[in-house]
Amino acid sequence: METDKTTLADLSIFNDGDDFSFFSKLNLCTTTRGRDKLYQNLSTPLQSIAEIQGIQQTILCLVSKEKHWPSRISNGTIMVIEKFYESAIDEIPSGASAFSAFTYKLLHSYDHALVKYSAQHCFDLIKGMQGVVQDLLDEETPAPLRKILEQATQIMNKEQFGIVERHDRLADLSGAQLLRFAGFIRYHYKLNMLELLDIFAQVDAWLSMAKAVKVFNLQFPVFIESEKPYLEAKGLYHLLLNEPVTYDVSLTEQHNFLFLTGANMAGKSTFIKSVGCALFLAHTGMGVPATNMQLSFFDGLLSNINVTDNIAKGESYFYNEVQRIKSTLVRIHNGKKWMILIDELFKGTNVQDAMKCSSTVIEGLLKMHNSVFILSTHLYEIGKDLKKFPNISFKYFETSVLNDQLHFSYQLRDGISNDRLGYLILKREGVVDMLENL
């Protein structure tokens, strides 16, 4: 599935330096390498239903084998191994004997201490990966996980590692055995060891996804083969909210355009982002925050939510809105299945101009039956003329007023809102009184 940086930012998939992101929520990795691999996994949505199902099955497999999750390999182990190959040390004696091991320890005490410390962590990695393969690789192991575990098996198929299988800890080895093991790791196994680190990073990333599925009670969506876009979700919610409201969503070939209205703070933006985030997570193989979800494979996901001006380039807010719509049209005019999310179209111009521009854009998008659209707007008036199109559905978030206080239900209703609450909000926040008392 295709997307872009603007969409990832709009949906808070990755927010640099900010904990409010899906990546930070799902990052339950134990190592920094695993974290980097998870970032890579989530930034590259998969390209087919088969690939998605393979990752789903991998995560389910790991969830079912929770008691076998590796605990011996820590982030410290990874860091020590990486530094072992970067450190300058006196050469470890080849084919070390008891005498050469003794003299190396006596004459090169600092280097011997570093070698011993590093060898301990190399031992733990090999031992830990042997355990991972033993516990997770069997006849029912899903293809993606099987592939890397078989690769790890081949990498570790060295006679020098028989000593790891026979002993539980490095302290059980003699001084000569320790140096022979460390020498092999340093001088003959560097590329293999780095490859093994990369394999564990992928296992760590998938384990993080499995932990998140379990901790947050995520459900795996069901993908259906369809030439037309389709999404049906029950109990969908926004994973980053502490007390989220759930939604039921239906987007089909017959009703592929959702026209969304409602007052400010009523929940329109949250709803749009909830749908987009669930679709994105589904295409990475992750579980989604919903009771259940069925969908077709989508070729792309684009959003138009947080458009900004560009003072340096002299580009206005409205100009950038137009450019975002233009680039979206260029990309989706290819007959493929796209989901397009638009929040408050054409905020950067006057109301009459915005109504004309919005109607023109919407009526054009309604001709595209191979994509689905969710568009929110304050321009309720344009909804009346759009009712003649059979493939558009109208939803709104209701707001009630009691004793000059706003009450948001965050419930999605059929129809078009007619709320006009801007002045009430201005009054509620005391701005009207402040102005009158100037």
Cα 337 from Cα 331, distance rounded (Å) = 11
What do you get for the CA distance between the two ends of the chain, in Å? Answer: 56
> Residue 13 is which amino acid?
I
Q: Tokens 């919005």 belong to which residue?
A: 358
Q: Tokens 């009526």 belong to which residue?
A: 363
Q: Are 362 and 382 in contact (CB under 8 A)?
A: yes
What domains are defined for the chain?
Answer: 31-215 (1.10.1420), 222-436 (3.40.50.300)
Q: What is the pLDDT of residue 307?
A: 67
The dihedral region occupied by 345, where left means phi > 0, alpha psi between -120 and 50, and beta the remainder, is: beta
The DSSP annotation for 148-204 comes to HHHHHHHHT--GGGHHHHH-SSGGGS-HHHHHHHHHHHHHH-HHHHHHHHHHHHHHH
Between the alpha carbon of residue 8 and those of residues 43, 196, 305, the distances in Å are 8, 31, 11
User: What element of type H or E holds 121?
Assistant: helix 109-136
Q: What is the pLDDT of residue 311?
A: 47
Question: CB atoms < 10 A from the CB of 323, how many?
Answer: 12
Q: Are 275 and 341 in contact (CB under 8 A)?
A: yes
Question: CB atoms < 10 A from the CB of 143, how many?
Answer: 13
What does R_g of the chain's alpha carbons equal in angstroms? 29
Cα 161 from Cα 127, distance rounded (Å) = 9
Helix (H/G/I), strand (E/B), else coil: 268: helix
- Output phi, psi for 126, to 5 deg: -60, -45
The encoded tokens of residue 316 equal 């206005």
The dihedral region occupied by 430, where left means phi > 0, alpha psi between -120 and 50, and beta the remainder, is: left
Q: Tokens 């092999």 belong to which residue?
A: 184
Strands 222-224 and 292-296: parallel
Q: What is the pLDDT of residue 16?
A: 66
Question: CB atoms < 10 A from the CB of 253, how many?
Answer: 15
The dihedral region occupied by 261, where left means phi > 0, alpha psi between -120 and 50, and beta the remainder, is: beta
- Output phi, psi for 371, to 5 deg: -130, 165
Instruction: Judge if pTM exceeds 0.75.
Output: yes
Burial class (CB in 10 A: 0-12, 13-18, 19+), 352: exposed
Q: Give the burial string for 43-75 (b: 16+ CB within 10 Å, else e).
A: eebbeeeebbbbbbbbbebbbeeeeebbeebbe
Q: What is the pLDDT of residue 429?
A: 74
Q: Tokens 């030439």 belong to which residue?
A: 227
Between the alpha carbon of residue 103 and those of residues 93, 108, 187, 398, the distances in Å are 10, 8, 20, 82
Closest CA to 253 of 234, 274, 235, 231: 231
Q: How many residues does the chain have?
A: 438
Q: What is the pLDDT of residue 434?
A: 83
pLDDT in tens, the chain (438 residues): 999 999 999 999 998 656 689 999 999 999 999 999 999 999 999 999 999 999 999 999 999 998 888 888 999 999 999 999 999 999 999 888 999 999 999 999 999 999 999 999 999 999 999 999 999 999 999 999 999 999 999 999 988 888 888 888 888 899 999 999 999 999 999 999 999 999 999 999 999 999 999 999 999 999 999 999 999 999 999 999 999 999 999 999 999 999 999 877 778 999 999 999 999 999 999 999 999 999 999 999 999 987 665 544 445 778 888 888 999 999 998 889 999 999 988 877 788 888 999 999 999 999 999 999 999 998 888 999 999 999 999 999 988 777 667 777 888 899 998 776 667 777 777 787 888 887
- Output phi, psi for 85, to 5 deg: -80, -15
Q: What is the pLDDT of residue 13?
A: 95
> Residue 49 is which amino acid?
I
